[in-house]
Amino acid sequence: VASRILVTGGAGYIGSHTAKLLRMEDIEPVVYDNLTTGNRSSVRWGPFVHGDILDTTRLIEVIEQYQPVAVIHFAASAYVGESVVDPAKYYNNNVRGTLSLLDACRQAGLYRMIFSSSCATSGAPTVLPIDEATPQLPINPYGKTKLMAEHMVADYGAAFGLNYVALRYFNACGADPEGDLGEWHDPETHLIPRALMAAARRIPHLEIFGEDYDTPDGTCVRDYIHVADLARAHVLAYRHLAQDGGNLALNLGTGRGHSIKEVLRTIVDVTGHDVPVVFHRRRSGDPPTLYADAGLAYRSLGFVPRYSDLETIVRTAAPFFGLEARS
């Protein structure tokens, strides 16, 4: 192995896909995860350390033991709805947890961090697409904790010479194109897996949260980006830092928005199964339309999504729900 990268939250959905890609790039991922939402069986490309990011002492020991060249920090709580009813969990894991990791990095001398942020830091912007100059005015505790963590990373960067890239994901979706890793959250709340569960009759129907938005077909519009593309952006971000490329905060999206109804049509086309739906009132905290200006990630990292068209997203995800994609 040429080098190692510490991957907090590497047993989770985006973390595990990134760990696999690192391994393919001859970088050994050292996964550090408390397994509250991660899956032990998703850690297959390097050592696993069972630990909590709030445990600074443990993090220092792990950094000293494995001597990673960078840390990719995924470990966080990530349900918008839950963050509204249980903000303490989010301030603890996402704010205190990131602070703990930053202190461990500082004390153990690890000076490169790639941080998982979110388009939720932008709130409900009135001007679209969302670029990196769009004001960050989060509208829920999840987005606020991600923004606070971004600020902490930047301040540690300025004070102690930590170099960083903050990556603001739009809607992560899809599954490993080689079929090694899927999308599983417990509970599963995300649109595409829930719609596939409904198509496979594992749940009676999909609830569509709001049909009366000011959007072309009345349903919310989001920028769906494939997890394999997100994983590659992390590798590119690491290469950028390894070449002393300077600190960045980047949106990771495709630059295109799709409505819920468009997503459902693609699922019907690709799987041949209909998706039973029930219309439901709006979910609180949902902005009508979000999509990225993807230009800066392209200009600074050369990042171009390859798997993020809706058809490929559904094709890669469908087998994990027992659905065959039509040829």
Q: Which residues contact 220 (CB under 8 A, 6 or more apart)?
A: 209, 210, 213, 259, 260, 286, 287, 288, 289
Decide: is 220 part of the binding site for ligand UDP (CB under 6 A).
yes
Q: Give the end-to-end CA distance of the chain in Å, rounded to a whole number.
A: 39
- Cβ closer to ligand UDP: 196 or 260? 260
Under the binding rule (CB under 6 A), the answer on residue 191 touching ligand UDP is yes
Following DSSP, what letter does each residue of 277-292 receive, concatenated?
Answer: EEEEPPPTT--SB--B
Q: Quick check: 11 and 36 in contact, CB under 8 A?
A: no
As a whole number of angstroms, the distance between CA 234 and CA 13 comes to: 14
What angle separates helix 227-242 from helix 13-24, to the nearest 10 degrees?
60
Q: Rounded to whole angstroms, how far apart are CA atoms 248 and 164?
A: 7
Place of tokens 């918008």: 80
Q: Looking only at Cα atoms, what is the longest distance across the chain?
A: 56
User: Using the rule CB under 6 A, is 112 a contact of ligand UDP?
Assistant: no
Q: How many CB atoms lie within 10 A of CB 262?
A: 16
Quick note: the x/- pattern for ligand UDP over 283-322, rule CB under 6 A, is x--x------------------------------------
Tell me the closest approach of the beta carbon of residue 196 to ligand UDP, in angstroms: 11
CB nearer to ligand UDP: give 151 or 280.
Answer: 280
- Least distance from C-beta 221 to ligand UDP, angstroms? 8
Least CB distance from residue 37 to ligand UDP, whole Å? 15
Active site residue 142: yes
Q: Which of 79, 142, 224, 238 is catalytic?
A: 142
| Stretch of 82-90, 139-147, 205-213, 319-327 lying at the interface with ligand UDP (CB under 6 A) | 205-213
Helix, strand, or coil here: 210?
Answer: coil
264 touching ligand UDP, by CB under 6 A:
no
- Rule CB under 6 A: say whether 80 interacts with ligand UDP: yes
Question: Is 189 an interacting residue with respect to ligand UDP (CB under 6 A)?
Answer: yes
Alpha helices in 109-243 (DSSP H): 141-160, 191-199, 227-242
For the bound state, the minimum distance from the C-beta of residue 296 to ligand UDP, rounded and expressed in Å, comes to 21
Taking the least distance from each CB to ligand UDP, the nearer of 184 and 209 is 209
Residues involved in catalysis? 142
Site residues (vs ligand UDP, CB under 6 A)? 80, 171, 189-191, 194, 206-209, 220, 222, 260, 283, 286
